Amino acid sequence: MSTRAMPEATLYSFRRCPYAMRARLALRYAGVPVQIVEVSLKAKPAEMLALSPKGTVPVLALEDRVIDESLEIMHWALAQHDPEDWRLSTDPTAQARMAALIAENDQVFKVHLNRYKYAERYPEAPMEHYRGQGEAFLAHLDGLLQQRRYLLAEHPSLVDMALLPFVRQFAHVDREWFAQTPHGALQRWLREWLESPLFVGVMAKSLA
């Protein structure tokens, strides 16, 4: 499907938010024309709150609908244009594995990531405890990447993009620690993505 006829959308985003990051990755990959509005989380714009009262980014405003869940935005973008088959459309087994990995990331790993990153808010256990809980997921991803270049296929897929911002955030809490872990395949995967034109493009600061 050509993206040329698609109307421009508006994405309310916050540059460092991992949920907004993965939405921007999918939209850019799909070639969706989008106007990005960088949101101050301390002064959220009234027009965004009118579209999505829950007040979290990302929010994608389309001509006929509003999507305010990052994964839903990703799926919508890929439905417009998916030149490299990020959806793994011919492999139902891989699709099921992809959904399970994303669910584990969003529902379990994200909890450990928050507690590791903001350990002072969770004094009932030391920071190393939360880091160890999160590292179990990293070890699982590393095992997958020892088998192939990307998580579930020989080419990038939705799951790589959906997890990338969260793995990046975990790794950047203590970069020296992450660099000395035995997760070499995951380190390579993360480094290659962070240096990729796609990621560099979605992280570029607006000149406006």
Asked whether 5 and 56 are in contact (CB, 8 A), the reply is: no
What's the first-to-final CA gap in the chain, in angstroms?
Answer: 31
Q: Which of 33, 59, 83 is the last residue of a domain?
A: 83
Q: For residues 57 and 110, state if they share a domain.
A: no
> Given 59, 83, 107, which residue is the final one in a domain?
83
Residue with tokens 């999505």: 52
C-beta atoms surrounding 182 within 10 Å:
9
Q: For the residues 177-196, what does the mean pLDDT come to?
A: 98
Query: Same domain for 104 and 183?
Result: yes
Q: Residue 99 maps to which CATH number?
A: 1.20.1050.10
7 pLDDT band, cuts 50/70/90, is low
pLDDT at 208: 41
Residue 3: pLDDT over 80: no
Q: Number of folded domains in the chain?
A: 2
Tell me the pLDDT of the chain averaged across its residues: 94
Give me the domain span that covers residue 67: 9-83
Q: Do 66 and 133 belong to one domain?
A: no
At residue 151, what is the residue type?
Answer: L
Residue with token string 């579209």: 51
Say how far apart CA 24 and CA 32 lie, in whole Å. 10
CB 112 within 8 A of CB 133: yes
Q: Is the pLDDT of residue 191 over 90?
A: yes
- Asked if 115 and 150 sit in the same domain, the reply is yes
Element (H, E) at 66: strand 66-67
- Same domain (yes/no): 27, 44: yes
Mean pLDDT value of segment 55-67: 95
DSSP code of 34? E
Sign of the torsion formed by the C-alpha atoms of 144, 79, 199 and 9: negative
Q: Does residue 35 surpass a pLDDT of 70?
A: yes
Q: How confident is the model at residue 122 (pLDDT cuts 50, 70, 90)?
A: very high
pLDDT digits (tens, 9 = 90+) for 83-120: 999 999 999 999 999 999 999 999 999 999 999 999 99
Q: At which of 53, 83, 113 does a domain end?
A: 83
β-pair type (9-13, 34-38): parallel
pLDDT of residue 42: 85
**187 and 118 within one domain:** yes
Q: Model pTM?
A: 0.93
> What token pair was written down for 145?
């990447």
pLDDT value for 181: 98
Q: What share of the chain is helix, strand, coil (3-state, %, to 5)?
A: 55, 10, 35
The reply to whether 123 and 171 lie within a common domain is yes
